[in-house]
Amino acid sequence: MPLDESAEQSRQYALVARAIAFIRGHATQQPSLEEIAAAVHVSAFHLQRVFAQWAGISPKRFLQYLTKEYAKQQLLASRDALSVTENVGLSSVSRLHDLMVSCEAMTPAEVKAAGAGVNIAFGFAASPFGEVMVGWTRRGVCHFAFSIASHEAMAAELATCWPRANLERDDPGAQNLLHQVFPATPTKGRVHLVLRGTNFQIKVWEALIYTEFAQVISYQQLAQHAGFAHAQRAVGHALAANQIGFLIPCHRVIRANGAAGNYRWGAERKLAMLAWEAGRGGERSTPATPPHGR
C-alpha cells in the first residue's frame, strides 16, 4: 500500500471514529446519516463516500454491524464454530488478504533477561485504524500499539517493557511492516509474533489467534476455548496485558449481551475494527501456522 494511501486511510478512520462516538452517545435516537454528518461537521455525501472508501460498505450497513443485536447473533454463530473446531481438533483460521499469523513464546530465561542483547527496531506508521507504533526483532513482531499518547511516551513504554534491549527507531521499516499487515490488494503473507507473558496469558493469546477474521467471541467462550472455563476474570486481565494489538485480536472479544466492552486503545477504535472486519467477512484465507507455546 503506497504511503499516501496509508495516510489517507488513517485520516478517514479519524472521521469514522468521531461518527462512531456520536452514534454511541445517541444510539437510542437512531440518528440519520444527515444527523451523524452534521455532528462531525461534514456533508452527508462526504460521510457516505468516506465510509464506502474506508469500510468497503455503506454507512447504513456499517452501522448495522455496530448494533448489539448483530453482535449477539455473531456470538451464537461463534459458539457453533468453536464447537466444530474442538470436535475435529483443528483450527480453520481465516485472515484478510491471506495473512497468516504464527507465534512463539519467549522462554522464561529470555523473559528474565528483559531483552538483554536483543535489538528491537520500532517506528510509527499509518494504518486503517490510525497511527501505530510497531516494534520488531529478527524473530518477529513484539509490540503493536495504536497511538494514544505522544511518540516520546509510547517509546518510553516500549523501553519499560524491554529495559535491557537495544532500541532503534525505523519509521520506514514500520510502514513496510504495516503494508504486510494491511495490504492494498489480496496478497499471501505471514507475520510472526514474539510473545512475552505468563503461560496463562500466552494460552489466552494463542486461543485468540485461532479465531476467524470477522468473528466475535465472548469472555466465557474464550475462557473455555483456552482451557480455563471458570477463569473469565483472569482472561480479561490477560487481554488487558496484550501488547500486540490487532494481530492478537483482543478486539474480537465482547460481552455476552452483545456490548463491545472496553478496549486498551479506545472503545470507538474497537467498534470500528469489528465493523471493518464484518464488512470484509467474505474474504477468507488459508489456515494460520499453529503457534508454538513454551
Which residues are tagged catalytic?
250
Query: b or e along 162-196 (b: 16 or more beta carbons within 10 Å of the residue's beta carbon)?
Result: beebeeeebeebbbebbbebbbeeeeebebbbbbb
DSSP percent split of the chain into helix, strand, coil, nearest 5: 50, 15, 35
- Measured CA to CA, the distance from residue 33 to residue 60 in angstroms comes to 8
Phi, psi of 166 (to 5 degrees): -95, 115
At residue 85, the 3 state secondary structure works out as helix
Q: Which residue, 22, 259, 25, is CA-closest to 33? A: 22
- What grid cell was written down for 286? 488459508
8 Å CB contact between 50 and 18: no
Q: E strand or H helix at 69, and its extent?
A: helix 68-88
Q: Which residue, 176, 249, 179, is CA-closest to 217? A: 249
